[in-house]
Amino acid sequence: MGSQGKPFVLVGVLRTEGPTAIKAGSKAIIFPDGSIEGWVGGHCTESEIVSAALSCLKDGTTRYLNLTTCQGGKMDVYLEPSLPTRKLVVFGHVPIVSSLCRFAKTLGFKTTVVDRSATREKFPDADSIVKTFDEVLPMEDPKNTYAVVATMGDSDQEHVEKLLRYGIAYIGVVAGRKRAQELFSLLATKKLFDDENSTNIKSPAGIDIHAVTAEEIALSIIAEIVQKARGASDQSSKILQLQESNASFSEVEELRKDSKKEEEEAEGEGEHNRALDAKEVFVDPICGMTVSSSSNNYARAGSEIVYFCSESCKDSFIAKISADLTESERSK
């Protein structure tokens, strides 16, 4: 097996009981596109293992599954993600940069400082120090690269314009709100700032923790980068940004609806986690198969969480619910 430098999830079968297609000790690798190198069993377990593996890649955490096969066998599976090292590129030489390097090192980022006056003595926690942007190129793995522009108005627009060409995961610009608005306006004028990349740029950079000192500002920025890396959203800050930019009422309300939907989904996730901790067992309403609460195939029906043996049963259930709702509407 070989990962060929890509992120992947290692799947290991720890224990089996009864009729199962694979036995304890079997291993496989699952890639971000869902492809498998090796074998993880039949259809009833494969789809659930792949789904869990993709979740592992998304949040970077390991998972343990207790699965029941269509034939009534049981298998315990361990999933461990292998992710590439995150990269942080920081422009500038102000104290915030030094603090960012220190936090990034603790979190395992590979950090590069870009500044003509930067020295190793000033930034001991940086992995590398270069003088110009061109020395950072070629920018490998842009989706796993994060950048912070802390040049305090000196060529910040130029740096952002260059960074936008590479489609990196996050660009944070340390600036006041007035300068941030000017920057976004200039980028929009050049047609460099649109719906496609707007979620990748943040200025003022950082989560609002009422930071004042350089260390606190750096902490808020690194926290925002981790939030981005983990795939979390920050709807409340987006709502605030829309309100401050005098967006229309409908735009703000639309985002509020999205935020409420996320909260409801999180509520359902919490109910699932409670069942998972209790190791509860459920019955698939479509095929009647016994399903463990460790299943990643579940849906919310009103206030209840319904579990399924496979993605196909889940889809059938959702289709049936949709059809019932449509019929109910017609009968009114």
What is the structure's pLDDT at 19? 83
Mean pLDDT of the chain, nearest integer = 79
Sheet of 110-114, strands arranged across? 128-130, 110-114, 87-91, 145-149, 170-173, 201-202
> What's the full length of the chain, in residues?
332
SS3 content of the chain, % helix, strand, coil (to 5): 40, 20, 35
Of 157, 173, 147, residue with least CA distance to 89: 147
Q: What percent of the chain has pLDDT over 70?
A: 77
Please name each of the domains of the chain with its CATH number. Answer: 8-82 (no CATH), 87-232 (3.40.50.720), 251-331 (no CATH)
Q: Look up residue 226 and give its amino acid.
A: V
The terminus-to-terminus CA distance of the chain in angstroms comes to: 58
Rounded to whole angstroms, the Cα distance separating 180 from 130 reads 26
Of 297, 61, 106, residue with least CA distance to 218: 106
pLDDT(103) > 90: yes
Rounded to whole angstroms, the Cα distance separating 308 from 276 reads 14
Q: Which are the contacts of 128, defined by CB distance < 8 A and separation ≥ 6?
A: 111, 112, 113
Rounded to whole angstroms, the Cα distance separating 315 from 318 reads 5
**The pair of three-digit structure tokens given for residue 107, joined into one six-digit string:** 């979190």
Burial class (CB in 10 A: 0-12, 13-18, 19+), 11: buried
Q: Which residue has the tokens 């610009």?
A: 173
Lowest-confidence range among 27-31, 235-239, 302-306?
235-239
What is the structure's pLDDT at 240? 44
Buried b (16+ CB within 10 A) or exposed e, 239-255: bebbeeeeeeeeeeeeb
pLDDT digits (tens, 9 = 90+) for 175-205: 888 888 888 888 888 877 665 666 788 889 9
Q: Which are the contacts of 19, defined by CB distance < 8 A and separation ≥ 6?
A: 69, 71, 72, 73
Lowest-confidence range among 57-61, 119-123, 281-285, 323-327?
323-327
What is the structure's pLDDT at 330? 58
pLDDT(11) > 80: yes
pLDDT(277) > 50: no
> How many Cβ atoms are within 10 Å of 33's Cβ, its own excluded?
7
What is the structure's pLDDT at 262? 53
pLDDT(24) > 90: no
Q: What are phi and psi of 138, to 5 degrees?
A: -70, 140
What is the structure's pLDDT at 294? 66
pLDDT(87) > 90: yes
Q: Do 98 and 120 contact (CB within 8 A), yes or no?
A: no
What is the structure's pLDDT at 57? 85
Strand partners, 38: 28
What is the structure's pLDDT at 223? 94
